[in-house]
């Protein structure tokens, strides 16, 4: 079984994230959206709310499930018996950052990271931009699945 973990903070989940999963469901038998916590980050949405947004966004996808986790992604991969980590790339800076993480993960365990380029019409969307739009009263609904409503 080709099982992939798609880790992230998803604060909130965006159309860019949705795009990656929507295309990756054809590549994997199961995709686990793994919403993690990072002690160095201050989140706009609670872990429970972020999970609810993702569960609702992917409710019609039979081979996608959403979980939360703490700790290293590779440890989660071991627990879930996943052989792949799925990551989206928006730009060259994302690639350089993600490449370093992929090499580190590969050193920690035998795992492959699969990168998908975000569709061009969504490559500018990031959770941090969405949070800024929300904070300033802009129309954030242009950048997120319909499940994200505040």
What's the CA gap between 69 and 145, in Å, rounded?
A: 22
Tokens of 127: 């959770």
With a CB cutoff of 8 Å and minimum separation 6, the contacts of 62 are none
Task: Give helix 73-80 / helix 92-108 axis angle, nearest 10°.
Answer: 60
With a CB cutoff of 8 Å and minimum separation 6, the contacts of 82 are 3, 4, 5, 32, 76, 111
Active site residues: 17, 41, 90, 127
What's the CA gap between 134 and 131, in Å, rounded?
A: 5
């Amino acid at each position: 079984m080709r099982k992939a973990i798609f880790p992230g903070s998803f604060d909130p989940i965006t159309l860019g994230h949705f795009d990656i999963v929507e295309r990756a469901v054809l590549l994997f038998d199961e995709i686990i959206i793994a919403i993690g916590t990072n002690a160095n980050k201050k989140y706009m949405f609670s872990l429970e709310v972020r999970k609810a947004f993702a569960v609702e966004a992917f409710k019609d996808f039979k081979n996608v499930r959403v979980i939360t986790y703490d700790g290293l992604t590779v440890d989660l991969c071991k627990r879930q018996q996943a052989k792949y980590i799925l990551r989206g790339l928006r730009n060259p800076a994302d690639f350089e950052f993600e490449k370093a993480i992929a090499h580190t993960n590969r050193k920690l365990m035998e795992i492959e990271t699969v990168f998908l380029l975000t569709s061009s019409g969504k490559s500018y969307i990031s959770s941090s931009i969405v949070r800024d739009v929300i904070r300033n009263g802009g129309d954030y609904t242009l950048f997120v699945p319909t499940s994200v409503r505040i």
